[in-house]
A and B are shown apart, each in its own frame.
Chain A
């Protein structure tokens, strides 16, 4: 303890037992701050109960999750931004072919079609004979429609390529460039 001179001792004595009641708003401010923080913590703990004691892990998980979502969305965007759709109906005569399969083939450039066909995908026709191929890259294509084996239509119609041909060499290639296409396919009668 310091050795106080007379002046210091006198001043010290003046304020030795100095007390004063603070205004109530001070306590209100303290109470609101402490309990607001508690409510925030309760909320956080409900969301991230397992890692309340590991705030850095929470931040790491949040960053990784956000990055994954962003990367996924970017991939979806860039891989689908220039993809197109080919859709249409298949008919057996005048009636839509409701039981069958549509197959999309990609045709390589500058090669005879029959040697250069590559299956792109196949879809079942719906009850109205409708088919749709999505995410189709620009290029040249042929479509083949196959009626369900042993069905009524199978008895009376051939599996056919677009343009109503039964061999691909005679079919006109479908050029897919920058727009979606509608191609209706009519089966060749037997």
Chain B
């Protein structure tokens, strides 16, 4: 906590070394996060840059409640959601036809693929599926909160998640 406080105070004094240190402390994890939300690497880099700019501009409001990483992560997630705000479209609450989720199939396929391959599959999902998949599965947001965040119903959130998993399964099967 003291180390974080010193680092934050130095960043607020526009100490470039401290800012660089702060950035490097969280950049790798946040870039990993951005890669999951973005459709490609270039988008992920833009997201990361904008996210950190927001972090630095809002650092003066950080209240030391919860972990610093958690605070940075929330800002990064919000940045990712804002990035796709205009293009976020959710299809009607209709599930992908004629597909069932097969846990065994999933596990077999996942075990054969590298993380990069699975990431590529997630990046290829429609923005809506990808966003809800990340928010629910990776960030652990409940459907109620996702619905509030994105301005959709809980049912839509649940359907979109199922559709995301079906779409991933379909890609895994190829």
Spell out A's residues near B (CB within 8 Å): 1-2, 4-8, 10-12, 14-15, 18-23, 25-27, 29-31, 33-35, 38
Spell out B's residues near A (CB within 8 Å): 14, 16, 19-20, 23, 27-29, 31-32, 35-36, 45, 48-49, 52-53, 56, 101, 103, 106-107, 110, 115, 118-119, 133, 136-138, 140-142, 165, 168-169
Judging by beta carbons under 8 Å apart, are A34 and B45 in contact?
no
> Which 8 A-B pairs rank lowest in CB-CB distance, beginning with the nearest?
A19-B28, A18-B32, A22-B31, A6-B103, A19-B32, A7-B106, A29-B49, A8-B137
Main secondary structure of the interface of A (DSSP, over half): helix
Judging by beta carbons under 8 Å apart, are B31 and A6 in contact?
no
Q: Which residue of A lies closest to B134 (CB)?
A: A15
Q: Which residue of A lies closest to B168 (CB)?
A: A11
Closest-CB distance, A9 to chain B (whole angstroms): 9
Closest-CB distance, A12 to chain B (whole angstroms): 5
Closest-CB distance, A41 to chain B (whole angstroms): 10
Complex Cα distance A33/B14, Å?
Answer: 12
Q: Which residue of B lies closest to A23 (CB)?
A: B45
| A residues in contact with B107, CB < 8 Å | 6-7, 10
Judging by beta carbons under 8 Å apart, are B101 and A7 in contact?
yes
Closest-CB distance, A62 to chain B (whole angstroms): 25
Complex Cα distance A19/B101, Å?
Answer: 28
Complex Cα distance A10/B168, Å?
Answer: 13
Complex Cα distance A174/B25, Å?
Answer: 89
